[in-house]
Structure 1
């Protein structure tokens, strides 16, 4: 559910914006790519927020005492119960840190992939093939994990808590208790998850675009 809402929106909007603003055969500039990916990431973050909340809550349930567990049967049950028990606004709890994270993720992942791919093709003897796509996507995964780590920590704590606490108060409290190291807590498992995910995503996307262009007669 999360990928159907969040990823579909951000990838779809980003590719559409690139087509709209591309001039001839020249690629949009790096600042333009950042702006496009940030816009698509923001919209994707809003679209995927309800599913993201469910994802966080269902993963954290096992770590809670039995009396505090939500015990959602599945994603649809979770959505229905959230609206019934907490109101419609609960679907967008933490939407700002989530959208901020989506902006950072999309900008660092999509824009950096395009830049890395362009630089590899320009500065090395690599061709526009699966090896270049793998290398560029691996580098993009590293960048995205590092950039998004602080927001990931905040987003997870905001969405999993049962108490209402402002983001400023939360950041102040965890910085005082844990130091600045909190920003990169869980970086390794995040990269283990995001690295292969980024590689698979872009390699599939490149093949999808190749098939699409052939079917449309663009090449």
Structure 2
């Protein structure tokens, strides 16, 4: 439609995530972190009550997890948590590591001095939070550190692909995975060192190793349950 001269342009409205996506994110984290065990049944109405949503988006979110293989449906009984092994977790993070490494390599020449200063500030805050055993703050700063790098890569399709795998990082239960907050505090330094000297291959390798290690830690957490 052609807008008439003098007519106001429509406002851009920032939409919140769909309720069904919020449901799937919430339950996915419960499963990946081990809070929900294989074989446990999940009732859509219970999830709806916990999140304050209606039954329809709750069921839609659970159906989405069924398509991912995290849930299955048993006739006349409903949704049940499917097995998720440590090897499954490592496979997801192996793919994520390749994407993260490529995005970091592409971001290396594109990050400005201000971006690097921002990353250094985030890392200092993250190390302080890790020393104070503030897992929630470490998780928030870790997420912002990675997001800043990936966004600078200027590769929206790769960013979309890696975002689809981030649901396997249990953000709400970050601190419960032994060694994960410490890994973020330590591994980011090697990434920053390569970014500062504009070394794409070094940055790719450091980021790839970091994400793989995160997957190994989560896999070990699951195996030890």
Which bracket does the TM-score occupy, shorter chain normalised?
A: under 0.3
| More strand, by proportion | 2
TM-score in terms of structure 2 length: 0.24
> Which has the higher relative contact order, 1 or 2, with Cα contacts under 8 A spaced 6 or more apart?
2
TM-score in terms of structure 1 length: 0.25
